[in-house]
Amino acid sequence: MKILSSLTSPYGRKARIVLLEKKIDCQLDVDIPWDEDSQVPEYNPLGKVPVLVLDDGTALYDSRVIVEYLDKLSPVSRLLPAESRPLAMTKRWEALADGVIDAAVAIYLEKQRESTQQNPGWIERQFGKMRRGLAAMSADLGEKTWCNGESYSLADIAVGCSLNYLDLRFAHMNWREQYPNLAALMAKLEARQSFIDTRPPVL
């Protein structure tokens, strides 16, 4: 089994953290989908990472599909609740965190274009999604120890990957000052070995 991902992809990092938390051995093939020699389209027709390639050659994508598969693959450190409502709430956290990442990636890509071709109104709409997403995360977390209450779960992994991606691409947002409860959660997450081992390179 192997996983294809870039080292800066927050979606790929989410899957890699789950692999480590579940203690599942998996080869990492670093692959940047923007490169001309990328092998990603051979496994994922959408050309996106991460892609989990199973031993029989079956390719799984996207990250939400991969992490759910991995959680059921090993009984170690269950990250998704079995009950319907807690499961739905965990996936809701993941959707919110991934949505913040989606907006951040969209802005990053737009800013790679010539300045005269960029759409400031569209960029501001994406920033609006990010700001509202952060506010919702903070409100939903409240004073809880973890996103789902008292137990660490995929919700925390997804939120952590999202917040760290903002650190990577949008450090000027300084979300920690505005949302101290998210900052406290992030401090706990960054102390976990799975987050340490998947820390993206400094750009």
Q: What is the mean pLDDT of the chain?
A: 97
* Cα–Cα distance measured from residue 69 to residue 198, given in angstroms and rounded to the nearest whole number: 20
Q: Which two tokens stand for residue 88?
A: 């739905």
Q: DSSP code of 200?
A: P
Per-residue tokens: 81: 């609740």
CATH number at residue 88: 1.20.1050.10
Q: How far apart are CA 126 and CA 102, in angstroms?
A: 9
CB 50 within 8 A of CB 4: yes
Domain end among 52, 73, 94: 73
Other Cβ atoms closer than 10 A to 189:
21
Burial class (CB in 10 A: 0-12, 13-18, 19+), 131: middle
Same domain, 176 and 113: yes
Would the pLDDT of 203 be above 80? Answer: no
Identify whether residues 69 and 106 lie together within a single domain. Answer: no
pLDDT of residue 40: 98
pLDDT of residue 173: 92
CATH number at residue 58: 3.40.30.10
- Which residues constitute the domain of residue 163? 84-197
Residue 162: per-residue pLDDT: 98
Q: How many CA atoms, within 13 angstroms, populate the side-chain half-sphere of residue 134? A: 25
pTM beyond cutoff 0.95: yes
For residue 112, give Cα distances in angstroms to 100, 107, 115, 119, 173.
19, 9, 8, 12, 19
Residue 53 resides in a domain: yes
The 10s digit of each residue's pLDDT in 50-81 is 999 999 999 999 999 999 999 999 999 999 99
Residue 180 lies in a domain: yes
| Torsion over CA: 6, 10, 14, 15 (sign) | negative
User: Residue 111, SS3?
Assistant: coil
Per residue in 18-59, pLDDT tens? 999 999 999 999 999 999 999 999 999 999 999 999 999 999
Tokens of 100: 């913040």
State which of 21, 47, 73 marks the end of a domain: 73
State whether 109 and 142 are in the same domain.
Answer: yes
What is the tens place of the pLDDT at every residue in 95-133?
Answer: 999 999 999 999 999 999 999 999 999 999 999 999 999
